[in-house]
Amino acid sequence: MPPQLLSVVVITLNEEANIERCLRSVAWADEKIVVDCGSSDRTVQSATDLGARVVHREWSGYVDQKNHAIEHAAHAWVLSLDADEWLTEEAIEEIRRTLSAPDADGYRVRRRTAFCGSYADRTWGADRPLRLFRKDRGRFDGGPVHESVRLDSGASTGRLSGPILHAGYTSIADYVDKLNRYTGLAADGMAGSGRRYRPLKLWFGPPWTLFRLYVMKLGFLDGARGWIIAAGSAYYVLVREAKLWERDQR
């Protein structure tokens, strides 16, 4: 049986610093599709030079953009990457081997996220997003942030051990900026679905998050990096819930 053909899909906005590394790691793929929503830097030119087919589309949210990219995929199997992600050699070999005889409809892939120049494999060690899947069995779903692939009912899921690398957060300033933006998007999405401020979540959500990441997941073994991530994640929960509380006050 010949290997299944693969389409790689990426969404972008001003990703000049990342897109080349991402696309070079999937140069072997049968098709590369970039959905861009109006980059003003060299993102589009770089993607085109590396053999990607660029589709222009106004921003409509992470879920819609990624599903639009999937719709443009010509092949039965899709690998979805963010522009600041790339494949290791181990992941490349495993994905190609898997596509030669797939035994599931979708696969979760280990993702290593960098924080200020290094990886936090304990604090964030459980991150296994579903990224490789059959086009006819999966679609992105979720709120304004933290979107994920949902497979059809009855579809089977496997796991791959070769990691995707994620540039993540390049500096504390970058982390704080994204935290503020993502908590706003998350609060908007929760409010839009009817979720209101919950006192217990505001009071106990942050300390539980800190304990779970720093103690239960052994984040303390990541040193200062683990503490900053765990405390920052607790702060994320606090700010998200505080923004819901602010809405109720209005």
Element (H, E) at 115: strand 106-115
Q: What is the pLDDT of residue 21?
A: 97
Q: What is the pLDDT of residue 16?
A: 96
Give residue for tokens 């979805």: 80
Q: In b/e form, how buried is each residue of 147-179, taking b as 16+ CB within 10 angstroms?
A: bebbbeeeeeeeebebbbbbbbbeeeeebeeeb
Is the pTM higher than 0.85? yes
Q: What is the pLDDT of residue 116?
A: 94
- Is 90 exceeded by the pLDDT of residue 95? yes
pLDDT digits (tens, 9 = 90+) for 52-94: 999 999 999 999 999 999 999 999 999 999 999 999 999 999 9
pLDDT digits (tens, 9 = 90+) for 128-165: 999 999 999 999 998 888 899 999 999 999 999 999 99
Q: What is the pLDDT of residue 145?
A: 81
- Is 80 exceeded by the pLDDT of residue 99? yes
User: In the chain, what are the domain boundaries?
Assistant: 6-169, 172-249
Instruction: Tell me what the pLDDT averaged over the chain comes to.
Output: 95
Q: How far apart are CA 223 and CA 123, in angstroms?
A: 10
Q: What is the CA radius of gyration of the chain?
A: 19
- Looking at domain 6-169, its CATH architecture is Alpha-Beta Complex (3.90)
Q: In this structure, what DSSP letter does residue 218 have? A: -
Q: In this structure, what DSSP letter does residue 77 have? A: E
Expressed in angstroms, the distance from the first to the final Cα of the chain is 62
Mean pLDDT of the 108-112 span:
95
pLDDT digits (tens, 9 = 90+) for 196-218: 889 999 999 999 999 999 999 99
